[in-house]
């Protein structure tokens, strides 16, 4: 949540009354800023502090005044950006020119079928297909373009083929709110079975493919809390389990071996797992180990043993085995020990070998163990920074392990790894069109030193001819929450900025999982301020090393990274020329006080509970909405979506409305709300590129590169 100054004021500057119009001015013919409706403020008292919220009314999605305000903000932002339409069109065309629009994924085998996706030029969405053998006839599993007809948004959630390959269980979201509807389809005939369920979060088949298990979320809080069993051909949907602890979610899966159904119940800090013989779907589930606060473990299967990744002896996890007949902790046998500086992030079991992923010094690794000899080997990668992880590995009996690899300079690549020799065979590398040449660029890893002496990794991308005298603009991006690592991913769109002379920097700050669970722990709860001061240290490092200067530096982050943007903008507005804040979590206290909202209760273990005085003080110190002041701010672009289920659109709307009454500068403050999407923005690939072109055009204008032609 925050990274405010060492001793921020507990009392925010009181905003102007809500009926006051926004400050108005005319600039380049742009209309006055959008007005706020005449609404009464909400005044409350918490822990002795009187809290006044002038913009709480913006949460009422059904109020015509709210929609009118959002549309007015959209119109104002479009007016500000009107002169950039040619630049936006140029950026869009360039991004599109680098994409192989008609393309095919590398097929993966499951049983007698090869499964793949393909795209066609002019189509927004993918086709999910399969065929028997390389020369078999194509069978359409899902045409997402057809599913999207009549909807402003379309996304696929679950996609589970029955063990015999005869049925597909899938789920769809048609408005971006991430509430998925379950359907079951016969791919051979195209027939939809009379099986539906709402708000489905995960799906798994029994061994015979006649029984379907699915988890369902609560309609209000969106917590995945119930597990159901449905046998095809019946009308019954039997409740198997209901989770009463509001911190926990429930998910179901089938092991790669096909032998066991796994029911995982997890909070942000604790988990427990129950298993069921997949041939006995009506049987009783067996508890592996009951929940113990701060103990997390996850279960896979091979032969007569479960393979378990557990953090019972250390935060970074170890791997143990347990007999399927008696899997409780007293029967756990250590296979891979815990290490203080290496985080085990996942395990994959196969008939003859075990593969696990781990992360050391912000670099992901793949390790293969021959289960006959227990000898293990780590796969070597050459680049200074990269992203690597498991690909589609559906077969339990297999002679290879599929993984994906990419970096800022290496396009997404699919490899098959021989677990005996560690020899990798590349099956495909995504083609980048338009004359792109990786030799023109440099990928580097450096470190910034935080205020407490901690060294924070930074990954940089620039052209070889970019000057290092402080004159180059820079985009600094970070996330820094939930223990999620910031991966070094390839993005062909990014070169629209880099080719114009910008440096792209990715900060691996605390709160993320880049350096293991301790890195996460040092950036959550009472330690959340480290996330923000780490980002500031990274920005200062870029300026001190002449990569850029503060008048050429733009910051970007989304969701919890949008919280980061709000916090650093309050903390050091002088350090950034522009800030792009996407679906930002900025109204932290009000949101965390409302337990009916999605995510709130579970996230008491990430941010704290503001109903507890000490934890309120943590959040109050950095909550962006609560710490806005009458002072100069950078140029800011805030983006959200009306149907966002993760961060309500009203959070950024309130933030912008309040900031307009306080900011003392004349820098542009723009707010864009996608009226037909959710947390991830537009779902169609062409629509998404249009949104990126808007963001990039705004960014290039801020750093004086709008008229600069890209170098090749």
The secondary structure of 626-682 as a DSSP string is: GG--SS---EEEEEEETT-SSS-THHHHHHHHHHHHH--S---EEEEEETT-BTTB-
Q: How high does pLDDT run on average in the chain? A: 93
Tokens 């769809």 belong to residue:
172
Averaged pLDDT for residues 516-532: 97
Q: 401-406 and 387-390 as β-strands: parallel, antiparallel, unpaired?
A: antiparallel
Residue-range domain boundaries for the chain: 441-702
Handedness of CA 622, 624, 630, 631 (dihedral sign): positive
Between CA 534 and CA 544, with CA 540 as vertex, the angle to 5 degrees is 140
Residue 200 token pair: 């489905």
Assess contact for 195 and 229: CB atoms under 8 A: no
Residue 19 has pLDDT above 80, yes or no: no
Other CB atoms within 10 A of residue 261 CB: 27
Residue 315 has pLDDT above 80, yes or no: yes
Residue 260 token pair: 């066991």
Q: 113-119 and 387-390 as β-strands: parallel, antiparallel, unpaired?
A: unpaired
Assess contact for 278 and 271: CB atoms under 8 A: no
Q: How far apart are CA 427 and CA 350, in angstroms?
A: 21
Q: How far apart are CA 275 and CA 288, in angstroms?
A: 7
Residue 643 burial by Cβ neighbours in a 10 Å radius (0-12, 13-18, 19+): buried
Averaged pLDDT for residues 456-469: 97
Picking from 551, 371, 379, 537, the residue whose alpha carbon sits closest to that of residue 457 is: 537
Q: How far apart are CA 434 and CA 436, in angstroms?
A: 6
Residue 18 token pair: 């809500």
Residue 681 token pair: 């923005």
Measured in whole angstroms, the distance separating CA 588 from the mean position of its chain's CA atoms is 19
**What is the per-residue pLDDT across 360-413, written as a single tens digit (0 to 9) for each?**
999 999 999 999 999 999 999 999 999 999 999 999 999 999 999 999 999 999
Contacts of 577 (CB under 8 A, 6+ apart): 550, 551, 552, 553, 554, 634, 635, 702, 703
CA distance to 66, 222, 372, 458, 528, per residue, from 452 (Å): 44, 38, 47, 17, 14
> What pLDDT, on a 0 to 100 scale, did the predictor assign at position 163?
97
- Catalytic hit among 268, 541, 577, 679: 679
The CATH number fitting domain 441-702, selected from 2.60.60.20, 3.40.50.1820, 3.30.2350.10, 3.20.20.70: 3.40.50.1820
State percent of the chain over pLDDT 90.
90
Q: How far apart are CA 305 and CA 301, in angstroms?
A: 6
> What pLDDT, on a 0 to 100 scale, did the predictor assign at position 31?
66
Query: Binning pLDDT at 50, 70 and 90, where does residue 28 land?
Result: very low
The yes-or-no answer on residue 54 being catalytic is: no
Between CA 511 and CA 519, with CA 513 as vertex, the angle to 5 degrees is 55
Residue 490 has pLDDT above 70, yes or no: yes
Residue 6 has pLDDT above 70, yes or no: no
Averaged pLDDT for residues 344-359: 97
Assess contact for 402 and 108: CB atoms under 8 A: yes
Query: Binning pLDDT at 50, 70 and 90, where does residue 112 land?
Result: very high
> What pLDDT, on a 0 to 100 scale, did the predictor assign at position 677?
84
Picking from 338, 306, 336, the residue whose alpha carbon sits closest to that of residue 322 is: 306
DSSP state of 58: G
User: DSSP of 176-204, one letter per residue?
Assistant: SS--PEEEEEETTTTEEEEEEESSEEEEE
Contacts of 262 (CB under 8 A, 6+ apart): 204, 252, 253, 254, 255, 273, 274, 275, 299
Averaged pLDDT for residues 289-304: 97
DSSP state of 625: G
- Catalytic hit among 416, 626, 644, 695: 644
Tokens 């070889």 belong to residue:
464
Tokens 């119009």 belong to residue:
21
Picking from 657, 524, 678, the residue whose alpha carbon sits closest to that of residue 598 is: 678
Residue 429 has pLDDT above 70, yes or no: yes
- Catalytic hit among 559, 581, 641, 645: 559
**What is the per-residue pLDDT across 215-258, written as a single tens digit (0 to 9) for each?**
999 998 899 999 999 999 999 999 999 999 999 999 999 999 99
Q: Which residue has the higher pLDDT, 15 or 63?
A: 63
Averaged pLDDT for residues 48-75: 95
Q: How far apart are CA 138 and CA 135, in angstroms?
A: 9
Q: 94 by DSSP, 3-state: which?
A: helix
Averaged pLDDT for residues 685-704: 95
Assess contact for 244 and 257: CB atoms under 8 A: no
Residue 5 has pLDDT above 60, yes or no: no
Residue 195 has pLDDT above 70, yes or no: yes
Using N-to-C axis directions, what is the helix angle for 64-80 and 650-662, rounded to 10°?
60
Contacts of 14 (CB under 8 A, 6+ apart): 52
Query: Binning pLDDT at 50, 70 and 90, where does residue 606 land?
Result: very high
Q: Where are the alpha helices (DSSP H) in 50-140?
A: 64-80, 85-97
Partner residues linked to 202 by β-bridges: 215
Phi, psi at residue 689, to the nearest 5°?
-65, -35
**What is the per-residue pLDDT across 276-285, written as a single tens digit (0 to 9) for each?**
999 999 999 9
Torsion angle in degrees (nearest 10) through CA of 85, 90, 91, 96: 130
Residue 22 has pLDDT above 60, yes or no: no
Q: Which residue has the higher pLDDT, 643 or 15?
A: 643
CA distance to 125, 161, 164, 640, per residue, from 108 (Å): 20, 13, 16, 36
> What pLDDT, on a 0 to 100 scale, did the predictor assign at position 682?
83
> What pLDDT, on a 0 to 100 scale, did the predictor assign at position 17?
28
The yes-or-no answer on residue 47 being catalytic is: no
Picking from 386, 576, 560, 362, the residue whose alpha carbon sits closest to that of residue 479 is: 560
> What pLDDT, on a 0 to 100 scale, did the predictor assign at position 635?
98
The yes-or-no answer on residue 370 being catalytic is: no
Residue 617 token pair: 């003080």
Averaged pLDDT for residues 495-520: 97
**122: left (phi > 0), else alpha (psi -120 to 50), else beta?**
left
């Amino acid at each position: 949540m925050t990274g405010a100054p060492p001793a921020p004021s507990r009392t925010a500057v009181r905003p102007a009354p809500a009926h006051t119009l926004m400050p108005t001015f005319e600039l380049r013919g742009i209309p006055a800023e959008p007005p706020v409706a005449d609404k009464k403020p909400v005044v409350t008292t918490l822990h002795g502090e009187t809290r006044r919220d002038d913009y709480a009314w913006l949460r009422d999605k059904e109020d015509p005044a709210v929609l009118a305000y959002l549309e007015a903000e959209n119109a104002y932002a479009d007016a500000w950006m009107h002169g950039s339409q040619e630049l936006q069109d140029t950026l869009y065309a360039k991004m599109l020119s680098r994409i192989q629009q008609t393309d095919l994924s590398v097929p993966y085998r499951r049983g007698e079928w090869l499964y793949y996706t393909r795209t066609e030029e002019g189509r927004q969405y993918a086709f999910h297909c399969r065929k028997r053998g390389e020369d078999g006839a194509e069978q359409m599993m899902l045409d997402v373009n057809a599913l999207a007809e009549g909807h402003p948004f379309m996304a696929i959630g679950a996609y589970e083929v029955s063990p015999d390959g005869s049925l597909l269980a899938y789920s769809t979201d048609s408005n971006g709110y991430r509430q998925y509807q379950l359907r079951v389809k016969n791919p051979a005939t195209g027939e939809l079975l009379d099986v539906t369920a709402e708000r489905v979060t995960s799906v798994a088949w029994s061994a015979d493919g006649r029984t379907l298990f699915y988890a369902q979320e609560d309609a209000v809080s969106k917590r995945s809390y119930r597990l159901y069993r449905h046998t095809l051909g019946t009308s019954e949907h039997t409740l198997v389990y209901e989770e009463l602890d509001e911190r926990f979610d429930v998910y179901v899966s089938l092991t790669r071996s096909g032998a066991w159904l796994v029911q995982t119940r997890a909070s942000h800090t604790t988990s427990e797992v129950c298993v069921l013989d997949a041939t006995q779907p009506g049987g009783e589930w067996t508890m592996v180990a009951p929940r113990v606060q701060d103990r997390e473990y996850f279960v896979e299967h091979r032969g007569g043993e479960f393979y378990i990744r557990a953090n019972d002896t250390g935060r970074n996890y170890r791997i143990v085995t347990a007999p399927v007949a008696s899997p409780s902790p007293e029967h756990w046998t250590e296979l891979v020990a815990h290490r203080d500086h290496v985080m085990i992030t996942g395990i994959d079991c196969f008939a003859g070998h075990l593969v696990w992923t781990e992360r050391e010094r912000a670099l992901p690794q793949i390790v293969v163990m021959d289960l006959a000899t227990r000898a293990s080997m780590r796969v070597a990668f050459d680049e200074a920074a990269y992203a690597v992880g498991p690909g589609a590995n559906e077969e339990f009996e297999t002679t290879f392990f599929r993984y994906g690899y990419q970096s800022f300079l290496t396009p997404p690549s699919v490899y098959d790894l021989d677990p005996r020799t560690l020899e990798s065979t590349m099956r495909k590398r995504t083609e980048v069109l338009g004359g792109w040449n990786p030799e023109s660029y440099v990928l580097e890893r450096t470190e910034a030193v935080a205020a407490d002496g901690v060294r924070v990794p930074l990954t940089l991308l620039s052209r070889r001819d970019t000057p290092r005298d402080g004159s180059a603009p820079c985009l600094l991006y970070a996330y820094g929450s939930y223990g999620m690592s910031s991966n070094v991913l390839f993005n062909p769109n990014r070169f629209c900025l880099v080719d114009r002379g910008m440096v792209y920097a990715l900060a691996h700050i605390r709160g993320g999982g880049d350096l293991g669970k301790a890195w996460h722990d040092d950036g959550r709860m009472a330690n959340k301020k480290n996330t923000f001061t780490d980002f500031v240290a990274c920005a200062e490092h870029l300026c001190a090393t002449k990569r850029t200067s503060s008048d050429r530096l733009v910051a970007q982050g989304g969701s919890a990274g949008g919280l980061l943007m709000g916090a650093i903008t309050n903390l050091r507005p002088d350090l950034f020329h522009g800030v792009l804040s996407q679906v930002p979590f900025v109204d932290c206290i009000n949101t965390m006080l409302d337990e009916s909202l999605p995510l709130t209760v579970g996230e008491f273990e990430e941010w704290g509970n503001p109903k507890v005085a000490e934890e309120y003080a943590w959040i109050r110190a950095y909550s962006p909405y609560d710490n806005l002041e009458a002072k100069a701010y950078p140029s800011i672009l805030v983006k959200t979506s009306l149907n966002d289920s993760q961060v309500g659109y009203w959070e950024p709307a309130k933030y912008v409305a309040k900031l307009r009454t306080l900011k003392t500068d004349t820098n542009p403050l723009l707010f864009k709300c996608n009226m037909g999407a959710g947390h991830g923005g537009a779902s169609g690939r062409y629509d998404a590129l249009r949104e990126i072109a808007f963001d990039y055009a705004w960014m290039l204008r801020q750093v004086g590169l709008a008229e600069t032609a890209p170098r090749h």
